[in-house]
Amino acid sequence: VDEFEIIRRLFVPETKSASVIVGVGDDGAVLRPKPGYDLVTVVDTMVAGVHFPAYLRAEDVGYRSVAVNLSDIAAMGGDPKWMTLALTIHKAESEWLEGFARGLFSAATAHGVELVGGDTTSGSEIVVSVQITGEVAADRIITRSGARAGDAIYVSGTIGDASLGLARLQLPHEDAARSSDDNFLIRRFARPDARIAVGQAIASEATAAIDLSDGLYADLEKLLQASGVGGRIEVNDIPLSAALRAAADSAAVLHLALAGGDDYELCFTAPSAAFDGKSEIAGVPVTRIGQVTAGGQLSCTLAGNEYQYHHSGYRHFSEQ
Amino acid sequence: VDEFEIIRRLFVPETKSASVIVGVGDDGAVLRPKPGYDLVTVVDTMVAGVHFPAYLRAEDVGYRSVAVNLSDIAAMGGDPKWMTLALTIHKAESEWLEGFARGLFSAATAHGVELVGGDTTSGSEIVVSVQITGEVAADRIITRSGARAGDAIYVSGTIGDASLGLARLQLPHEDAARSSDDNFLIRRFARPDARIAVGQAIASEATAAIDLSDGLYADLEKLLQASGVGGRIEVNDIPLSAALRAAADSAAVLHLALAGGDDYELCFTAPSAAFDGKSEIAGVPVTRIGQVTAGGQLSCTLAGNEYQYHHSGYRHFSEQ
């Protein structure tokens, strides 16, 4: 089978919405934005062996490469619409491509995102760059820089699962031998849920938001620095899944909660009156974990006592 | 020096225009489109060793990665505005990155394009994905699919230079030993001029357009197929530079004119009354090379006699 035919069959959508005037197949796509709305645009690249294990299933690679971008759109309060894909692969293996496309479109169509352009090239390793553009009302944009002293700090979902899931995935295994907890944790890494509905629901009251890719402490620190404020979180208030609690001792759990990346939950700030009565937003659990302070540092307490968290200082070689 | 600092210093613009509400540094960029305009969006990936020789100067890699995308915007009649960059490199070598950034911004700022987001990752080879979004009035979009029997076929600039330039670049050499013709041809490969102004100037009268990346014959064939028509071109009418004519015998020149890629000139169709009197458009030479026919094939004549052009059938493993 001709590799171009495989790619055409897998990646050229059969239908397009009214907002897509010209889709895949011309020199470029032509898109019609909603009058009066701003655009929000994000791009994220994943390299096999760097951002995910080379043996991650093709379907999960496709899903995850869309989900991590949707997560950035969620953190801006946006409504995702259009996607472009730049895919570098060693060879057009139809089975791998089919799985990849299935995962990609599964994540995209769940949020109404259409593929409008792409470019497939050959190279020595798998590099997936997805770029997503969405719409956002000008008065509903959430940046990282609006947090104010006195605001409450919240997170969606549960924290730390994905990094333990990645560790599980890296163990030698037989699928059959994995517990349901293991499968839950692995799924949290391989198939992150982008919190689009949460981002939109909080947009008018949240003062700042960031999605959690590098770990709660590191990402919250970025938000606070961008806002020129400090913060304090109570470590015992960080929401943890039963699977995480069951899998690790308390020291390991603390580490995973503060340093574990890849959860793609939202961390956001808002005046405490806005969400304190709510245990969930748009069907997703939301938990208050601390408060924004005027000082310039992020500090932690553990059951009310000061807890010195030592940041490993590791930074991914990756920046938005 | 911290590699993040290098990247921040090189790629985070100091100023932004009014259309960029949030630029690099948040979860995503927020952009304000012009009311009533559609968006045109393109993406193109270049892999070292596949799309350009690994020894191409960093500055030219940066320039070219923007220019090839601008060329797609030009072929749609668009006005380019915002750019995202997904860069995979082996190691953050500051000298290479500085050259790359210089070339990237040189091509971008020449056309008023702003970098609004990016992602730098490490990998085993250089992969550059640039995505550019522009604006276009709904009644000014040029697609590939509007050519009609009887339209004239035009090209901008001169054809075949870039592929000979690439061949020159691949020869062992001392810079000092290159003739000015060689340098002209190499520059045509390394620093293509995106025909943005031409695309906008022809937009209201052109019926179809494509930019020339894979060769005149192959790309014109795509345009005609997308339009459901055929065409005939007179090979002697294809505009050639003096440097190309001087460097090759007539058989080689014919081959370069029909099959040579990477020129990034525009090929377009229009009713013959529209541009036949003009020798240039927006300061760029424009030449009529043939005519659209009702039949489904692209045929060639040489000095009026039928010329059987045998397509090599080689296709890049790359598709828009």
Predicted pLDDT of residue A1? 53
CA torsion A181→A185→A186→A188, rounded to 10°?
A: 140
**How much is the pLDDT for B315?**
45
**CB-based contact (8 Å) between B27 and chain A?**
yes
CB of B110 within 8 Å of a chain A CB? The answer is no
Contact B131 A318 (CB under 8 A): no
Specify the pLDDT at position A121: 86
Residue B313's pLDDT is: 46
- Are A32 and B39 in contact (CB < 8 Å)? yes
What ipTM goes with this model? 0.89
Q: Is the distance from CB of A213 to CB of A194 less than 8 angstroms?
A: no
B4 contact A CB<8A: yes
Nearest Cα residue in chain B from A211: B27
Which candidate, A77, A76, A282, A70, places its Cα nearest to that of A191? A70
Residue B1 has pLDDT above 60, yes or no: no
Question: Is B320 a residue whose pLDDT tops 60?
Answer: no
pTM of this structure: 0.90
> How far is residue A179's CA from residue A162's CA, in Å, rounded to a whole number?
16
A8 vs A23, A24, A191, B133, B212, CA distance in Å?
Answer: 13, 9, 25, 23, 21
A-to-B residue pairs, Cβ atoms closer than 8 angstroms: 231
Closest partner residue to B210 (CB to CB) among A24, A27, A211 is A27
Q: Most confidently modeled of A6-10, B8-12, B250-254?
A: B250-254
Residue count of chain A, please give it.
320
B251 pLDDT above the threshold of 90: no
Q: How far is A207 from chain B (nearest CA, A)?
A: 14
Work out the angle between the directed axes of helices B250-259 and B161-170 (0-180°, nearest 10). 110
Q: Which of A24, A33, A129 sits opposite B86 (nearest CB)?
A: A129
Above 60 in pLDDT, residue B43?
A: yes
B70 close to B29: Cβ distance less than 8 angstroms: no
pLDDT at residue B312 is higher than 70: no
Residue with tokens 């791009």: A43
Interface of B with A in 5-24 (CB under 8 A): 7-8, 21-22, 24
- Per-residue pLDDT, A83: 95
B88/B66 Cα distance (integer angstroms): 15
- What percent of chain B lies above the pLDDT cut of 70? 94
Q: pLDDT at position B317, please?
A: 37
CA gyration radius, chain A = 20
Chain B, window 188-217: residues with a beta carbon less than 8 angstroms from a chain A beta carbon = 209-211
Residue pair B31/B20 in contact by the 8 Å Cβ criterion = yes
Query: Which of B101, B96, B17, B113 minimizes the C-alpha distance to B63?
Result: B101
Per-residue pLDDT reduced to its tens digit, B208-242:
999 999 999 999 999 999 999 999 999 999 999 99
> What one-character DSSP code corresponds to residue B225?
H
Given a cut of 50, the residues of chain A with pLDDT beneath it are 313-320
- Grade residue B14 by pLDDT with cuts at 50, 70 and 90: confident
B42 → closest Cβ in A27, A144, A145: A27
**What is the C-alpha to C-alpha distance for residues A209 and A153, in angstroms, rounded to an integer?**
10
Residues of chain B found within 8 Å of residue A3, distances taken between Cβ atoms: 317
- Residue A48 structure tokens: 């096999």
Name residue A240's amino acid.
Answer: L
- Are the C-beta atoms of residues A83 and A113 closer than 8 Å to each other? yes
Higher confidence at residue A158 or residue B121?
A158
Predicted pLDDT of residue A313:
46
Position B215 scores a pLDDT of 95
Per-residue pLDDT tens over the stretch B267-287: 999 999 899 889 999 999 999
Contact A226 B117 (CB under 8 A): no
Q: How far apart are CA B288 and CA B265, in angstroms?
A: 13
Q: How far is A130 from chain B (nearest CA, A)?
A: 9
Structure tokens at B127: 């992969």
Whether B193 shows a pLDDT value over 60: the answer reads yes
Chain-centroid distance of CA A70 in Å reads 6
Rounded mean pLDDT, B97-101: 94
Residue A218 distance to chain B (closest CA, Å): 14
For residue B35, the chain A residues in CB contact (below 8 A) are: 35-36
Our CA-based measurement puts residue B142 at a distance from the nearest CA of chain A, in whole angstroms, of: 9
Are the beta carbons of A42 and B117 separated by less than 8 Å?
A: yes
b/e sequence B73-85, b meaning 16+ C-beta within 10 Å: bbbbbbbbbbbbb
Chain A residues with beta carbon closer than 8 angstroms to that of B73 = 27-28
- pLDDT value for A50: 84
Angle CA B101–B106–B108, to nearest 5: 95
Contact partners, residue B47, CB within 8 Å, separation at least 6: A88, A121, A122, A123, B125, B126, B127, B128
* Chain A residue with minimum CA distance to B47: A123
pLDDT at A155: 98
- Quote the minimal CA–CA distance from A45 to chain B in Å: 6
pLDDT above 60 (res B180) = yes
Q: What is the pLDDT of residue A314?
A: 46
Residues A37 and A135 sit within 8 Å (Cβ to Cβ)? yes
**Cα within 13 Å of Cα(A272), Cβ side:** 10
SS3 A30: strand
Q: Which element (helix H / strand E) includes A281? A: strand A280-281
Q: How far apart are the C-alpha atoms of B49 and B44, rounded to whole Å?
A: 16
Nearest chain B residue (CA) to A145: B26
Q: Report the residue from B33, B86, B88 with minimal CB separation from A43.
A: B86
Q: What would the two tokens of residue A318 be?
A: 């990756």
The C-alpha of B147 sits at a distance from chain A's nearest C-alpha, in angstroms, of 14
Which chain B residue is nearest to residue A90, measuring alpha carbons? Answer: B317
- Band (B93; pLDDT cuts 50, 70, 90): confident
Q: What is the mean pLDDT of residues B17-22?
A: 92
Interface of A with B in 78-107 (CB under 8 A): 78, 82, 84-88, 92
User: What's the pLDDT at B171?
Assistant: 82
How far apart are the C-alpha atoms of B73 and B132, rounded to whole Å?
Answer: 8
Distances (CA, A) of A288 to A52, A202, A223: 30, 14, 16
Q: Which residues of A touch B138 (CB under 8 A)?
A: 21, 32
Q: Residue A85 in contact with residue A104, Cβ under 8 Å? A: yes
The token pair at A82 is: 């259009």
Mutate to test the interface with A, among B27, B37, B198 (most CBs of A within 10 A): B27
A243-248 — which CB contacts under 8 Å span 24+ positions?
A243/A161, A243/A181, A243/A184, A243/A185, A244/A158, A244/A160, A244/A161, A244/A164, A244/A185, A246/A181, A247/A164, A247/A181, A247/A185, A248/A164
